[in-house]
Amino acid sequence: MTRLHDPSRRDFASDNYAGAHPQVLTALVEANEGHQSAYGADVYTARLQEVLRAHFGEQAVGYPVFNGTGANVLALQSALPRWGAVICSEQAHINTDENGAPERIGGLKLLTVPTPDGKLTPELVDRQAWGFGDEHRAQPGVVSITQTTEVGTVYTPAEIGALAEHAHGLGLALHVDGARLSNAAATLQVPLRAFTTDVGVDLVSFGGTKNGLLFGEAVVVLDPARSSGLEYLRKVDMQLASKLRFISAQLVALYEGDLWLRSAQHANAMAARLRAGVEALPGVQVTQPTQSNAVFVVLPAGVADTLRAHRRFYDWDVATGEVRWMCAFDTTEEDVDAFVAEVASALAARSDG
């Protein structure tokens, strides 16, 4: 097939724009030879369980799935009765970017709380943790947080531990949407289990696609007492791959060694470089701490449109002019510096006009 795109192009819209890491593609090729049992009864899925236990502890059980939305829906379904509800931030991915999948496919209710930095606290949880036993209200059963959050901020282990203790005290499970869990670990400089298993998290939607996988995520159960039925729900929700070895092999390639960490560290470093390059430019207002691989800024009117002639990125708040710039494992220093120069040029052109 003839290549249809410019492989040198780098955008700052999403880490989903990046291709697959070469080591992940090599793992797919190696896993492709010969026959292996289907639906997860293969050696790569067995190896993945060992890899996940090394990261999350001996009690961890992983269920590879196609995508992050599926992982979130499955995890939440497995922890809730049919009448259950999830307490989450208004900015949570499950509330803003999954097109009603938790409600329509999962059959559950989202109880949202406004948060200035994307992070829940025990006090914010209590705004929705009420009505227990009231047949007229969906029953809170899970607290769901995103790590890193939708605005790029990172929960510390202590913050997650406080949420877990509070949730468990109310009889609720704690779920972590970990699409960018690796970026959080890179920022915190601690093992994955230090802010999941060790502080009381019950379920994790474990990310891979944003950190170099071609496709695939996993639901990781950390407390079996808080989850049930995933072996059936995965099929019911159309998230069970017949050739599951190809999802598992990618996850093994990423997490068996330190590829996951090196890739996340690099993406975070590129975001820090981007922030450092633009925050001194006149007219640029950085709006959130840059704690992972995301930079949020407000630009003067018209500047974003000028930049989009050359680079793709997303508006975050159209009303204020806030945009989001994301870096990935394959973003280079040259990419960042070129983009900073483009921002400076667009600002100068606006001033001259």
User: Mean pLDDT over all residues of the chain?
Assistant: 96
Give the Cα separation of 298 and 315 in Å (integer): 10
Question: What value does the mean pLDDT take over residues 83-110?
Answer: 95
Domains and CATH numbers, the chain: 21-255 (3.40.640.10), 259-352 (3.90.1150.10)
Question: What value does the mean pLDDT take over residues 152-177?
Answer: 98
- pLDDT tens string 36-66: 999 999 999 999 999 999 999 999 999 999 9
Give the Cα separation of 226 and 80 in Å (integer): 9
What does the pLDDT read at residue 340? 97
Q: Are strands 322-326 and 314-317 parallel, antiparallel or unpaired?
A: antiparallel
DSSP state of 57: -
Question: What value does the mean pLDDT take over residues 323-331?
Answer: 97
The residue among 76, 214, 45 whose CA lies nearest residue 138 is: 76
CB 20 within 8 A of CB 214: yes
DSSP 329-341: TT--HHHHHHHHH
pLDDT tier, 349 (very low <50, low <70, confident <90, very high otherwise): confident
3 state DSSP class of 136? coil
pLDDT tier, 184 (very low <50, low <70, confident <90, very high otherwise): very high
What would you report as the CA-atom Rg of the chain, rounded to the nearest whole angstrom?
21
pLDDT tier, 350 (very low <50, low <70, confident <90, very high otherwise): confident
pLDDT of 352 above 70: no
DSSP 6-28: -TT---SS-GGGS---HHHHHHH
Residue recorded with tokens 């474990």: 206
Question: What value does the mean pLDDT take over residues 215-244?
Answer: 97
Question: What value does the mean pLDDT take over residues 132-142?
Answer: 97
pLDDT tier, 353 (very low <50, low <70, confident <90, very high otherwise): low
Question: What value does the mean pLDDT take over residues 153-182?
Answer: 98
pTM (two decimals) = 0.96
Percent of the chain with pLDDT over 70: 99
pLDDT of 326 above 90: yes
Q: Which residue has the higher pLDDT, 348 or 184?
A: 184
pLDDT tier, 110 (very low <50, low <70, confident <90, very high otherwise): very high
Joined tokens for residue 19: 């291709």
pLDDT of 207 above 90: yes
Residue 221 bridge partners (DSSP): 61, 203
Question: What value does the mean pLDDT take over residues 286-315?
Answer: 94
Q: Are strands 109-113 and 84-89 parallel, antiparallel or unpaired?
A: parallel
Q: What are the strands, taking DSSP E only, across 13-138?
A: 61-65, 84-89, 109-113
